[in-house]
Amino acid sequence: MIAGPSRGRRYVLLLLLLCGFSIILFRLVTLQVLQAAELTAKADRQHQKTVSFEGARGMVSDRHGKVLAMNVEVPSVFGVPTSLESPSTVARHLSPVLQIRSNELEKKLRQDKSFVWLARKIEPEQGRRLEQLSLDGIGVVMEGRRFYPKGPLLAHVLGFSGMDGQGLEGLERRYDSHLHGEKRVTVLQRDALGRTVFPKGLAEQAPTPGHALTLTVDEVIQYIAEKELEEAVTHTRAKSGTIIVMEPSSGAILAMAVSPRFDPNVIAALTPDRWRNRALTDTYEPGSTMKAMVAAAALEEKVMTPDSMVFGENGQMVIASTTIHDHDRLGWMTFSEAIQKSSNIVAAKTGMALGEQKLYHYLQAFGFGQRTEIDLPGEVNGLLKTPKDWGRRSLASISMGQEIGVTPLQMVSAVATLANGGVMMKPYVVSEVRDQKGRLLKEVRSQVKRRIVSPDTARTMTTILEGVVTNGTGTKAAIPGFRVAGKTGTAQKIDPRTGAYSSTQFVGSFVGYVPAESPRLAMIVIVDEPQGEAWGGVVAAPVFRRVGEQVLNYLGVSRDDTVKIALAMRDH
């Protein structure tokens, strides 16, 4: 009678134990099998923090190895909010050192995180002061900050990079994939008390730096160009200015100066208009400099010869119910003299002799209306309408350098083609890419784009353009001891309010090459909206002379050698 209830209780107890073990077993299976991945990830999030550091960007040097852009190691400050007892006290100590308001710092330090950045890439002196404070929960690691040791020099070409090491403008942007260092990921551990444990030697664990660039640019030539351009813009009270110096035989850019300048080390307060590379991004009506290309086309097509007699219509000619004017009452003259005197009327007649299709063909061949494909960002096509969109006067206007928009780089490339015997080269600014050990990864060689005119036509044009400097509108570009070939340009700008040509806003320019018989330099000088006299022969030609003379001396091009070469060629 007694055994029955006792056996029943044992069965109940056994059943309860089995149920308990089943629940425990089910829970173990759930935790260790079904939810294993999820719980492991959660544990990692609680005990680990992943922080990434960028490798140093590669150096940028000029053609002789002079450093133009580099990285300097500077402190970056982080905090460990979960290990702080009094975030407000720590924030008050940090505020005067980091020059950040204490309430902003405190807000960061009160986050439920094991790692927060407080200040990136601060000054070394600030880092030293932080070390003296020795605050628990506050640490410092060294990061690379981009530094441009020459300040504004070549700034529009170099561009700049952002806080996280990405290229934002100029070469920094165009070659970001080469310059960008490898990313290093560091895992920070937390101990049983929730404190972050940083790997030993965190600051010394430098990731792999980026590749180095060697430019075609010469620091000395760049300095000369920028100095002379700044003086010209200041003297003429101009809006802006541009100088490009190119090696005609290769297309290598030796200098590219833009005014006003900027310092890429200090860009916080600047607008994009200040760092825009006007040599590539801004178009202008070239005016009379276009006559050199129109003349070359006419000689190539044999619709004109240097000695062809043309009538200047005594300074006025009616085309499409409008009157074209020359600065002087010119009568009969040779074609060479007309170019040297920059006759608008003869330029219009030359264009009409070529016809729409042939003129358009040569303008395209000289690279107008299309990018030069230089290895820099931001380049525009310019403006060259197809003949079907031309008006009744367009043929004459385009031949005079109106109704067409070009960039400074397009124009100097076109004239450099004449200097190079009629062969157009692709312009470029980077000559080599090397890794951190100095091994050559990429070498850029000069690249022929196309032949546009024959060597005979190019030589004839050189003689005509020399006459511009010796007897024509460009006498102020003459360099003693050297033969200079070039062309002046003075173009009215369109008034955006009226849509008509302005009577007060002009672009003065000069484009040419030297020594004419064996060109080392092709150069364009543009002065935008000079006040007072705006003629290209007055505001731009003297700048060409000053830059050219200094650069030729720097390159060691002897005046005596030039004379000997000229005499030898003449005898030959």
Helix/strand/coil (H, E, C) string of 391-428?
A: CCCHHHHHHCCCCCEECHHHHHHHHHHHHCCCEEECCE
Distance from the Cα of residue 394 to its chain's centroid: 33
- CA-nearest of 171, 167, 126, 79 to 375 is 171
DSSP secondary-structure letter at 248? T
Report the half-sphere exposure of 122 (CA within 13 A, side-chain side): 22
The per-residue pLDDT for 40 is 58
The per-residue pLDDT for 385 is 96
Q: Peptide bond before 515: cis, by omega within 30 degrees of 0?
A: yes
Report d(CA 412, CA 6) in Å as an integer. 110
Compute the residue count for the chain.
572
Report d(CA 53, CA 142) in Å as an integer. 10
The per-residue pLDDT for 200 is 47
Do 133 and 123 meet the contact criterion of CB atoms below 8 Å apart? no
Angle at 116 between CA 111 and CA 119, to 5 degrees: 125
The per-residue pLDDT for 347 is 96
Do 429 and 217 meet the contact criterion of CB atoms below 8 Å apart? yes
Dmax (CA) for the chain in angstroms is 147
Domain-wise residue ranges, the chain: 49-101+113-215, 219-434+442-571
Q: Which residue out of 250, 288, 397, 509 is catalytically annotated?
A: 288
Residue 504, H or E segment: strand 501-514
Report d(CA 467, CA 471) in Å as an integer. 5
Report d(CA 210, CA 56) in Å as an integer. 6
Distance from the Cα of residue 45 to its chain's centroid: 43
Give me the residues paired with residue 525 across strands: 243, 510
Do 467 and 340 meet the contact criterion of CB atoms below 8 Å apart? yes
Report d(CA 358, CA 398) in Å as an integer. 13
For the chain, 572 residues long, the average pLDDT of each consecutive 10-residue run is 63 75 70 62 52 77 96 84 82 85 85 81 82 81 85 96 86 94 61 49 62 97 98 96 98 97 90 93 96 98 97 93 91 96 96 97 97 96 96 95 97 98 98 93 95 98 97 96 96 85 92 97 97 94 98 89 47 44
Handedness of CA 63, 64, 66, 70 (dihedral sign): positive
Q: Is the pTM of this model over 0.85?
A: no
Helix axes 291-300, 408-419, angle to 10 degrees: 40
The per-residue pLDDT for 571 is 46
Write the secondary structure of 173-197 as one string of H (helix), E (strand) and C (coil).
HHCHHHHCCCEEEEEEEECCCCCEE
What b/e readout covers 411-447, taking b as 16+ CB neighbours within 10 angstroms?
Answer: bbbbbbbbbbbbbbbbbbbbbbbbeeeeeeeeebeee
Do 492 and 498 meet the contact criterion of CB atoms below 8 Å apart? no
**CATH 3.30.70.1140 describes domain 219-434+442-571:** no
Angle at 209 between CA 208 and CA 215, to 5 degrees: 150
- 448, two tokens: 């022929």
Report d(CA 244, CA 222) in Å as an integer. 9
- The answer to whether residue 288 is catalytic is yes
The per-residue pLDDT for 203 is 46
The per-residue pLDDT for 1 is 47
Do 139 and 203 meet the contact criterion of CB atoms below 8 Å apart? no
**CATH 3.90.1310.10 describes domain 49-101+113-215:** yes
